[in-house]
Amino acid sequence: MQVRFTMQKSIPVLDEHSSEVLGTVEEPLIHPDTGKIEGFFITTGGWFSPDIFLPTSHIVRWGKYVWVRDGEALGPLRDIIRLQMLFDEGRHVLGQPIVTEEGRMLGVCRDVQFHTQFFLVQWLFPRRFLWWGTPIPMNAVTIITQQSIVVRKYTEEKSLSVTKEVVLPASQIEPA
């Protein structure tokens, strides 16, 4: 299933065995080089509650709720050294300006569309002031830096293939 993140924000995270509510989904951690969502920050409620991290490898299914294999999988991001280093790099996807290779500003990435089984980002949704821009496919991204997301020029070519029927006269048709 393909979903936009803003439509899935704040959905409950439940333990598969006990059906206990563990928190709500807040922000994804997206790998800037592969476009894979490595996990989600989960808030447990309250003003001063710490955000905990849920790796996507512990998600059993995604639907009306996010079901996790075990509530013990949730924890602080600093416990996963590889992902902590990725987070500290500062090459985040959401909130980054999107610019073309020529330097034209397309907007700020405010939403992404991803696949809930593979957790791969497929589309970026830029927003400029109050208006949404044209969605950008993830394969158009050249590089993600600390300052911006650089995309190459892409075109949505919708070419129609015209096929011609060839009708041969009966005299030219060979018997089978």
Q: What is the pLDDT of residues 61-104, one digit of tens each?
A: 999 999 999 888 889 998 988 999 999 999 999 999 999 999 99
pLDDT band of residue 172 (cuts 50, 70, 90) is low
- Those residues with Cβ within 8 angstroms of residue 12's Cβ, 6 or more apart along the chain or in another chain: 21, 23, 24, 65, 66
Beta bridge partners of residue 39, listed in sequence order: 29, 55
What pLDDT score was predicted for residue 115? 95
What pLDDT score was predicted for residue 166? 54
- Whether 80 and 55 have beta carbons less than 8 Å apart is answered as yes
Distance of alpha carbon 84 from alpha carbon 137, whole angstroms: 27
Phi, psi of 14 (to 5 degrees): -120, 145
Distance of alpha carbon 54 from alpha carbon 153, whole angstroms: 35
pLDDT band of residue 129 (cuts 50, 70, 90) is confident
Query: Do the two domains 2-89 and 97-151 of this chain adopt the same fold?
Result: yes
Amino acid (one-letter) located at 171: S
What pLDDT score was predicted for residue 158? 43
Average pLDDT across the chain, whole number: 87
What pLDDT score was predicted for residue 154? 63
What pLDDT score was predicted for residue 171? 58
Half-sphere exposure of 74 (CA within 13 A, CB side): 21
Domain residues of the chain, as ranges?
Answer: 2-89, 97-151
Beta bridge partners of residue 113, listed in sequence order: 4, 123
Specify burial of residue 134 (Cβ count, 10 A radius: 0-12, 13-18, 19+).
exposed
Q: What is the pLDDT of residues 19-71, one digit of tens each?
A: 999 999 999 999 999 999 999 999 987 777 777 999 999 999 999 999 999 88
Cα 118 to chain center, whole Å? 10
What pLDDT score was predicted for residue 164? 53
pTM of this prediction?
A: 0.81
Distance of alpha carbon 94 from alpha carbon 126, whole angstroms: 9
- CATH class (in words) of the domain with range 2-89: mainly beta
Q: Which CATH superfamily is domain 97-151 in?
A: PRC-barrel domain (2.30.30.240)
What pLDDT score was predicted for residue 155? 53
What pLDDT score was predicted for residue 157? 46
Beta bridge partners of residue 97, listed in sequence order: 108
Amino acid (one-letter) located at 158: K
| pLDDT > 80? residue 110 | yes
